[in-house]
Structure formats: C-alpha cells, structure tokens
Structure 1
Amino acid sequence: MARSNTLSQIHTQIMWNRLIAVVEEQAQTLIRTAFSPIVRECGDLSAGVFDLRGRMLAQAVTGTPGHVNSMAESVRHFLRHFPVETMEEGDIYITNDPWMGTGHLNDFVLTTPCFHHGKLVALLSCTSHLMDIGGIGFGPDGTDVFMEGLYIPMLKLAERGQMNQTLLAMIRANTRLPVDTEGDVYSLAACNDVGCKRLSEMMDEFRLDSLDDLAEHIIHHSREAVLAEIARLPKGSWTHRMRIDGFDQPIDLHATVTVSEKSIHVAYDGTSPASSKGINVPIAYTTAYTCFGLGCVVAAQIPNNAGSLEPLTVSAPPGTILNAPYPLPVSSRHITGQMLPDMVFGCLRQVVPERVPAEGTSCLYNMTFRGPSADKPDSKYGFAVTITSNGGTGARPAKDGLSATAYPSGVRGTPVEIAESVTPLLFWRKELRADSAGAGHTRGGLGQIIEIESADGLPVELLAAFDRIDHPPRGREGGGDGASGTVGLASGLVMKGKGSQMVPPGERLIIQTPGGAGIGDPNTRPRDQVAADLRDGLVSAEAAARLYGATAAAAE
C-alpha cells in the first residue's frame, strides 16, 4: 500500500512539472510572436493555467511578478462577468482594466476557456505590455485614467472562434501603432491557444478527464509548504519606512509585516495619499509585488500558485498611493509598486537579516520615446517605443548586488541593436557606471550610463518616469548608499525625472541609472575583491582609497 501511495505521489509530481512546462511553452509562444520589443526581447509578460474556480495552478517561469500575481486576480473577475456555464469552445475574453487587470492600461489580459474532448477543464490566461494604446502615452503626466489611453472593460474578443472585428477596429483606431497593437492582440490569443492545445495533449498522455484532483494536490502541498516555512519564523510585527521621489513631492511608504502562526500580513497604513499624477498603484499590483517580496524570503523554492500565495495577505488604506481608487491615473504604477519588495525586505531584515538584500534601484528605468521619423514625414508619431534598462540591485548578505539588472521585475534590458533597428535613435554609449555601487563588505550592483541621440536630426519626446534621483537606495549595517540616478543633456541641462520633455535636435540625452546599496563596513571588504573591482574598472582608484581605504597597489 505504501509503495502504491509513493508511486502515486511521484506520478502526481510529474504531472505538476508537466503543467509548468505547458505554461512555459505558452509564454514562449507569446515571446516568439509578439510585435512589441518589450515583450519579444525583454519578456514583459505572464502566462498561467487556472482551474474553473479561478485558482492559479501554474505560472510560466518566464514573466514578471507584477503581471503574474495580478493576472491571478483578473481571472476571478473574468469568471464574475462570464460564468463557466456560459463559456463555449473558441471564446476569448479581454480587458485592460487597471483595477481588474494588471494595474495600467498598457497591459492587455486575455483569458481563454480550455476544452478537452468537448469538456471545459481549465482557463488559460496571459498578459503582455503593448507599446502604445493612445492617450497621452506611457508616461505619468495624466490626471485621470481616461487621459492614459483606450480603456477596455471585460469583453469578448472572440465568440465561438469568431474574432470581434468591431472591437479590433476600435483598438486599431486608438493607437499610434495600429499594426503592432493589433498584432500583439493576436499574439496573446495564439499564446493561449497553444497552452490549451498542450494542456489537452498532457491530459491525453496521463489519461485525465479533469484537473480537479491535480489542482487540489498542487494547492494543498504548496500551501502546506509555505506554512511550514512561516512556522520557522519568529512571530511578531516589524515596521519599515522609505521615502521615494514621487512626481512633484516625495512619497513616504510605510509597511508593517506581521508574522503569525498561519499567515504573513503586510499593512501599508501610514503611506502617503494618492498622487494627482500617474504614479498611483491599484491594490492588485500592490499585492502582486508585496507577495513577490515575501516569497523571495519565505518561499523561494516553492512554485508560485494560489496555494503558495494564500497565506500571504496585503492591505493598504483606500485613497493612499498603494490603493488608488478609480479613476485616478496609474500609467506609471511600476515606479511606486516595484519598490515594495524593498519595503518587505526592510521589515524582514529585522527578523532574518541573512536572507534579505539592501535597497536597490528596484523600479525599472524605462526610456519611453516617441516622435516623427524622417521616412514618415506626414506622421506626427513616426515611432513610439519603450526601451527597458535598470540600475544596480542591493548587496546581498554574502554576495555583491547585480549590476544593470531589473529586480524585482525580471524584465530584460532592450538590446541596443533592436532599439536602433526599430527607431531613429542612435546609442553612443551604454556601459556600466563606475563608482555607482554602494560600498560595503558586500557592495551593491552598478548602474549604467546611457547616451542617446536622434539619428535623423528631428526632435524626440522623452516620457520620463524615473525614480531614486532625489532619494537613492540606502545602505545598511554601515554599507554605503547607491549612487542617485540622473537625467540630462550632454550640453549640461538637467531634466526632470518624471514628465514629458523634448530632446532637441543635435542634443544627446544622458541617463545615469542608480547603483544598489551596500551591506556592512566597507573596510572589511576582502582586498582581493577590491582589487578585482579596480582591475575591472568598476571602482576608481580615488573611490577605492576613499571608501575602502585601499590604494591600487595595496589592493593588488
């Protein structure tokens, strides 16, 4: 009997792993077919499979936490609007509602009911970032969500296999990039179609006519694994505060993490009120990145699904910047929301300091440009593009931070070759920023220096949405702060960190992304590591002497 039970457990685990492989192929389909460079080159997407109760069973390894964890809420909203008993084979549902989707209008969420031999067995869902959906564009200047672009409520994109041509026409008419935008909608639909096909093949292979038993196994074991990790933590409450730049005034983030026997709750009471500009965060996105931060510390080895997320809860007072009500502007919600893992780490470093890093750049340094093109003289917007980049992550207790790495988002940087091939932009420099890392026993990661010019002599509009300029990442336990970010022109003009601004013809835009903060006394950093940083040009001789008390010769 024990042998039979063991074999059954192994068999179930194999099916679980196969389910993860199914949704990974789903995500790779999206990458390979997407029109937007931010998806096909950088992986700004999510994909997952859900049971008929709307519980996430598996997510693709490829994808961002903000998309995956907030998409899980979207599926529940779809089920409210389209009950399972009304679903038919060939139906596809769509929305970009920030409060029922992934936090801003540029992310489209598609959910497709999956039928196996004529029986509804699951829901496949995916999300990706679309480059342009009209309005003022992908920047924080709006004063309400209606300024920020096309708003799609919960609708049917397809009914019994027939695409909604009226809706597609509306989408095409409300974007500066109609071909790319419509292409990305079809890419999302294809992504779910492949997921459905592979899921049905898996069920045939394992002779399943339902996912119910597998779903219960996944949810139960994931939840129990997280509860076991929570049981090992000290019980109590810990608080942390952090100030970030905001739009026209600083934003204060306050968090309290409470660890009890069966859960971890994060409350953001005391956080600043909502902004008049588009840096506000809907609660689903707040929850997504908060739970990701908790998961990194508490449940790093446990697959992400409804079971592993269940013991992790989040609250923020309505009307604060982390629980912004409709219809406030939310286009650049990532600027604020991606700081939340640092808030969680600030609380948990008082409990398990050996598990958490110092503060990093955290929020993506997305460079959104648009403007005319010499080969499209009659078009006001010859191009519109978002080029992803980032600064350094915070130092880890036993390792240095990562340089030019998008943590916590996980989005890859846009290759220069791709950016230059789809825009009239010329990159003169894109290199690591020496001396930007916060010093410490373990240092932070380095930021970047990026120098860009319009290649065709026409003005370019920058939709700036950057942070950590006035309030850089903070070191801990004697470690140094990371370097602040900067935005300006080569001629010396300092530009704002947020808001639409013009780069005149012939000028070069220079962006310096922040460095991550350090941990521990810099004087205790091993000499061979200081020498290696000097040799590699990551720290100058002057900074090495000033921060580490080391000359180049002594370090060698």
Structure 2
Amino acid sequence: MMTKESGALAGIQRQIMWNRLIAVVEEQAQTMIRTAFSTTVREAGDLSAGIFDLQGRMLAQAVTGTPGHVNSMMESVGHFLKKFPAETMQPGDHYITNDPWLGTGHLHDLTVVTPAFRNGRIVGLFANTAHVIDVGGLGMGPEGRSVFEEGIYIPIVKCFDRGVPNETFFDFIRWGSRLPVELEGDVYSLCACNDAGAKRLVQMMDEFAMDSLDPLAAFIFDSSLRATVAEIAKLKPGTYAAEISSDGYEEPVTLKAAMTILDDAIEVDFAGTSGLSQRGINVPAAYCRAYSCFGIKVVVAPEIPNNWASLAPFRMKIPEGCILNAPRPYPVSVRHVTGQLLPDLMMGCLHQVVPDRVTAEGSSCLWNPPLRGGSAVSGQARGNKAVLPDFEIVTFNSGGTGARPTLDGLDGTAFPSGVRTMPVEATENVAPVIFWKKELRPDSGGAGRTRGGFGQIMEIGTKGELEFAVNAIFDRVAHAPKGRDGGLDGGNGGVQLASGNKLRTKGFQVIPDGERLLLLLPGGGGMGDPAARDPAKVARDVRDGLVSVENARALYKVVVSADGVVDVAATAALGRDRNR
C-alpha cells in the first residue's frame, strides 16, 4: 500500500526523470549541430529533435529547435509507423523522408526516425528534422509550379538497415543534389543524432531501473494535459476573429482566423483565408497546425512543456482549397513566408482576450536569401568574361520582433522560428560572397509606448563583384507589421540593388556584374501611444543612432538634440502628456 510519503517521493522521482528526458533530447540535438554539414543546421540551428513512445506520441522535445519543425514532426512519426510498424524495427535501423505532407512542410527538411532498444526490446523512438541547403530541383525558392520541380522527393524509406547504409538511397541523393557531400553528410549527422539520444535513453532507463517508458509517458501526458486545460479554463469563452495580410506571389494573401475558446479546448477556423497559389508559398496542413499551436501556446500556456498532450487541446479547421491546406502536388518550397505569420494571427485573436500577454506584429518571416553563382547563373566563361565558381548557399537573417506590453521588441531576432542569425564569416567561409554591410536599420521599429524591434540593412556582393543570383523569398514589404493599442506599424521591408533599382520580393533574379544586393529588413510594430513613451528612452535611441531626431519629434513628441539630450521646454511646448 502506497503511503502519502511514498507517493510524494514517486512524484518527485517522475519529475526528475522528466527533466532527465529533456536533457537526453537536448544532447540529441547538440550532436546534430556538432556534426552537421549544412550551415543552416550548424550555424542557425534550423532543426528539431524529440523522443516518442511506440504509438508515435511525442514525450519531450529538445530546447534547441524551431516550432515549425517540432510541432509538425510530432505528426510525422505516426506516418513512419504506418509504413514500418514498431514491432518490425531492428537495432541499427534508420528511416527517412522529406515528403512535405508526411514531414515538416517542404523538401528541404529531412526527417529521420530511429528505434531505441534496451536488452533487445524496442523501448522508444527518436526523431529529428533538419533543413539542408540543397535537394536539387529549382533550389529553395517560390518559382516551382508543382512539388516535383522543387527537388528530390524521398518517400519514407530505410537509409540504414541494421546499421548498413542503403547504398541505392545514397546514390539517388548524391546524384540529385548540387551539394552531394553536404547532403550525404547531413543524413549521417541526423542518424548519429538519434543514436546519441538512444544511447542516453538506455543509460537513463538502466539508472532508474525502468523496463518501459509507458509509466513515465502516462505521467507526462496526464500532467501536461491537465495543466493546459486549467490554463484554457482561465480564459473568457467566446469566438474572436482576426486577419493578417501577406505580400503573396501573384497577388496579396489574406489569412483569416476565428478562434473559439471552450472550457477545455481552443478551436481555430481558417474560413475566409485566401485560396491556393500556383507558386511555392502554399502551406501543408501540418505546418499550419504547427505554427498555429505555437502561437496559441506561447500566450496561453508558455510554461507547460511542449508534447503530444499539451498540444492536444488546440484544434484546427483548415478548409480545403485554402493556402494553409495545400494538397499534393502543389508547390510548397517556401511555405514559411506564409506559415510564419500564423503566430501573429493567433495573437490577433488572443489580444481580444488577454491583451497584456501578446506582442505587436513582427517581421515574422525569415529573410534567408538563397544565393547562387557560377555556370548555372552565368554560363561558361567566354572571352574576357569571368565567372564565379559554382556555389549554392542560404544565410538566415531576421527583422525586428513586435513590441511587448512592458518591453520593446527585439532587434534582428527570429520569431517565431527561433533560429539563430548566421555569422557572416561562416557564410563567407563556404561561398565566394562578401557582406559589405550588416547593421541595424534606423527608424524601422514601429513607434509606441514600447517600440518594435529594429530590422537590419544588409548589402551583399561577391568576390570580384561578379554576377550572382538570389532566389528571393521575402515578405512584409507591401504589408508592414501592424502595431497594437495605438502603436505604429513597423518599417516595410525592401529588396533592391545597391544602385537603387527595385527587385521583386519573390523569385529568381540575377545581380549583375559590379552590383550588390541590398536588403532592408522590416521592423516590428509598436504597442501603445508613442507619446506615452519615456523621453529618456527616446533620447537613448537617438544617441544610439536608431531613432532620428526628426522621428523623435514627429512620432514621440520629444525634442532631442543630435547628441541625444532632451529639450524639456521644447518638449513641453508640444503639449506632450507624459502620464497618458
């Protein structure tokens, strides 16, 4: 018979095991970062890692990773189990896919699932996802008119069978990519990552004398579900609607949501959202669910661990034929430029319920220009025309985040993806490109009581100033991030040549000899009346060169000298009410 004391001790032990499980999957993710070939993984952390029970339910995820990968990968393990049931798996097996509808939304993401064995018996599954630089096809960009143009399409297959590499599989990916060494190396990295997690799991189970993960899984799922439902119950029931605009490709895109808060669940209906595009900005449903759930969770239940049970109360209705529910074989290569707006859309609904918990809109979509040069862009060298060596590279960068109720937005920070900005030195080390400028963009943060984060200015050229190409995948140019509660919009993005000629925000374009690509990354929206901002903070931003003297006066009603000193009398003469 269990006493009160023994029950409390068991609860403490389960909590310790839960925390230990998170440490296991974090080591899993760090193994991938240390061994990855693609800079997107190694430098930016565009990945996810997690452990699943034998029913394909996620128990824990690594702290390192993106919501789009983690939350859609949560669905993908079930697809693996349908093709390869757990009881058929053997030690040393590794399974892989990049199917956008069974994985995480586009062909550049590889997902690997690996069984973990203890004493000859399967005890769990490890899964991970990583964004690789190249999978052939047109390359990462919106130009494809079907998924078949976007790269190698890998069904769920074994890449290792009982520890032996599937050479037929590796032959296909080597010959299907512009970067065969990097792609093959990344597959090995993903498998090594899962092996590291499996090894640590077995050590953990030995230490705690665990024959199965099932009791721990039941504890995790029960605790997470009850805690999430309890947080939902604190919200005012009702239906709350919002919408957000995107630049789109052929025409602007509108995302609409009606969020219904029930006693024990939150349902979101995307009726009224724009229809499918003929280009690669469409979003598979799993990716829509991934970022929508994330946008709700960071507001409603941010402290509750992310797993199958804590996400279960968030339910989505995504109409067929809308851009958030793309069927095969619609192009989806840059689904993030649409899908990463979804947390802002969710916060637009939740702002009507818990306004003190949400942010203003941010730049949201990553500004990660895929750059290409060499014979594929310029043809073969002829006469005196010099041509760059062949290269294909992606560099990850971000604009500003939206203002928070009590704090300013973050500058040049990726939200909601959470990936790291890649150091320019890392990119310059692997490709013949030069970053002539990378700095914060003054006056791009939306004015407010708390202001939006600042975007960036980036000027990119090549060695020898030779022509190269960008496959533009940018947004928030025609539709700036919106402020809230009287805060002003963030600065619009811009795509152009350094000489001033405008470029399209999406699509393959050549930067001529002697020219450079100039990117103006958007800033985040502001929150609250700008005239209520502390003049000392306005003066600080002027001193830092982030807010101009003109905007300090026009937007914040603060008169500041060029060296950042507030003219109190002149400010008072503007009729500024510091208490509002």
Shared fold, TM over 0.5: yes
Please name the residue that 1:309 is paired with. Answer: 311
What is the count of residue pairs matched by the alignment?
555
Please name the residue that 2:54 is paired with. Answer: 52
1:372-394 CA-to-partner distances (Å, cap 9, x unmatched) read 189x9899971111100010000
* 1:188 and 2:204 are equivalent in the alignment: no
Q: 2:518 aligns with which of 510, 515, 519?
A: 510
Q: Which amino acid aligns with 1:274?
A: L
Please name the residue that 1:370 is paired with. Answer: 372
- Report if the CA contact (8 A) 1:267-1:314 is conserved: yes
Secondary structure in 1 matching 2:111: strand
Which runs of structure 2 are paired with 1:283-432 in the superposition (5 Å)? 283-372=285-374, 382-432=390-440
Please name the residue that 1:64 is paired with. Answer: 66
1 CA distance for matches of 2:39 and 2:140?
A: 15
Secondary structure in 1 matching 2:142: coil
4+ long deviations beyond 6 Å: 376-381
2 CA distance for matches of 1:404 and 1:116?
A: 45
1 CA distance for matches of 2:329 and 2:464?
A: 39
- Report if the CA contact (8 A) 1:36-1:180 is conserved: yes
Q: 2:545 aligns with which of 537, 542, 555?
A: 537
Task: Please list every run of 5 or more consecutive structure 2 residues that lacks an aligned counterpart in the other structure.
Answer: 382-386, 568-580
Secondary structure in 2 matching 1:345: helix
1:535 Cα deviation from its structure 2 partner: 1.1
1 CA distance for matches of 2:482 and 2:43?
A: 31
Q: Which amino acid aligns with 1:555?
A: V
- Report if the CA contact (8 A) 1:138-1:148 is conserved: yes
Please name the residue that 1:11 is paired with. Answer: 13
Q: Taking structure 1 as reference, are residues 274 and 193 closer, same or farther at Cα in structure 2, changes over 3 Å only?
A: same
Please name the residue that 2:485 is paired with. Answer: 477
Q: Which amino acid aligns with 2:310?
A: S
1:437 Cα deviation from its structure 2 partner: 0.5
Secondary structure in 1 matching 2:138: coil
Q: Taking structure 1 as reference, are residues 380 and 533 closer, same or farther at Cα in structure 2, changes over 3 Å only?
A: closer
1:254-297 CA-to-partner distances (Å, cap 9, x unmatched) read 00111101101111110000100000000000000000001100
2 CA distance for matches of 1:288 and 1:475?
A: 24
1 CA distance for matches of 2:56 and 2:566?
A: 58
1 CA distance for matches of 2:357 and 2:530?
A: 20
1 CA distance for matches of 2:320 and 2:175?
A: 34
- Report if the CA contact (8 A) 2:388-2:466 is conserved: no
Secondary structure in 2 matching 1:359: coil
2 CA distance for matches of 1:61 and 1:20?
A: 8
Which runs of structure 2 are paired with 1:85-484 in the superposition (5 Å)? 85-372=87-374, 382-484=390-492
TM, length-normalised to structure 1:
0.98
- Report if the CA contact (8 A) 2:465-2:515 is conserved: no
1:428 Cα deviation from its structure 2 partner: 0.8
Secondary structure in 2 matching 1:85: helix
2 CA distance for matches of 1:126 and 1:424?
A: 31
Q: Which amino acid aligns with 1:91?
A: D
1 CA distance for matches of 2:388 and 2:172?
A: 20
1 CA distance for matches of 2:428 and 2:227?
A: 47
Q: Which amino acid aligns with 1:429?
A: K
Secondary structure in 2 matching 1:443: coil
1:339 Cα deviation from its structure 2 partner: 0.2
Q: Which amino acid aligns with 1:247?
A: Y
- Report if the CA contact (8 A) 1:370-1:381 is conserved: no
Q: 1:519 aligns with which of 524, 527, 535?
A: 527
Secondary structure in 2 matching 1:121: strand
Please name the residue that 2:566 is paired with. Answer: 555
1 CA distance for matches of 2:88 and 2:164?
A: 16
TM, length-normalised to structure 2:
0.94
2 CA distance for matches of 1:238 and 1:355?
A: 16
- Report if the CA contact (8 A) 1:426-1:455 is conserved: yes
- Report if the CA contact (8 A) 2:388-2:432 is conserved: no
1:109-143 CA-to-partner distances (Å, cap 9, x unmatched) read 00001101111000000000010000000000000
1:457 Cα deviation from its structure 2 partner: 3.4
Q: Which amino acid aligns with 1:351?
A: V
Please name the residue that 2:496 is paired with. Answer: 488
1:301-320 CA-to-partner distances (Å, cap 9, x unmatched) read 01000110111111210111
1:64 Cα deviation from its structure 2 partner: 0.2
Task: Please list every run of 5 or more consecutive structure 1 residues that lacks an aligned counterpart in the other structure.
Answer: none
1:438-469 CA-to-partner distances (Å, cap 9, x unmatched) read 00001000000000111133311100000000
2 CA distance for matches of 1:490 and 1:119?
A: 61
Secondary structure in 1 matching 2:464: coil
2 CA distance for matches of 1:116 and 1:87?
A: 13
1:243 Cα deviation from its structure 2 partner: 1.2
2 CA distance for matches of 1:520 and 1:458?
A: 47
Deviates more, 1:95-104 or 1:452-461: 452-461
2 CA distance for matches of 1:97 and 1:438?
A: 39
2 CA distance for matches of 1:508 and 1:302?
A: 46
Please name the residue that 2:384 is paired with. Answer: none
Secondary structure in 2 matching 1:238: strand
Q: Which amino acid aligns with 2:356?
A: E
Q: Which amino acid aligns with 1:190?
A: A
1 CA distance for matches of 2:524 and 2:409?
A: 7
2 CA distance for matches of 1:372 and 1:190?
A: 33
Secondary structure in 2 matching 1:552: coil
Q: Taking structure 1 as reference, are residues 52 and 380 closer, same or farther at Cα in structure 2, changes over 3 Å only?
A: farther
Overall identity of the aligned pairs, in %: 57
Q: 2:509 aligns with which of 477, 486, 501?
A: 501
1 CA distance for matches of 2:20 and 2:380?
A: 51
- Report if the CA contact (8 A) 1:391-1:406 is conserved: yes
Deviates more, 1:546-555 or 1:407-416: 546-555
2 CA distance for matches of 1:477 and 1:365?
A: 27
1:64-109 CA-to-partner distances (Å, cap 9, x unmatched) read 0000000011100001011111111111110000000000000000
What is the aligned-residue RMSD (CA, Å)? 1.4
1:506 Cα deviation from its structure 2 partner: 1.1
Q: Taking structure 1 as reference, are residues 178 and 112 closer, same or farther at Cα in structure 2, changes over 3 Å only?
A: same
Q: Which amino acid aligns with 2:323?
A: I
2 CA distance for matches of 1:194 and 1:355?
A: 38
1:357-377 CA-to-partner distances (Å, cap 9, x unmatched) read 010000001111011189x98
Rg (Cα) greater in structure: 2
Deviates more, 1:379-388 or 1:458-467: 379-388
- Report if the CA contact (8 A) 1:115-1:196 is conserved: yes
2 CA distance for matches of 1:475 and 1:172?
A: 47
1:213-265 CA-to-partner distances (Å, cap 9, x unmatched) read 00000011001000010010000110001111000200011001111011011
Q: Which amino acid aligns with 1:289?
A: Y
* 1:528 and 2:498 are equivalent in the alignment: no
- Report if the CA contact (8 A) 2:51-2:124 is conserved: yes
Q: Which amino acid aligns with 1:147?
A: E
- Report if the CA contact (8 A) 1:454-1:505 is conserved: no
* 1:32 and 2:34 are equivalent in the alignment: yes
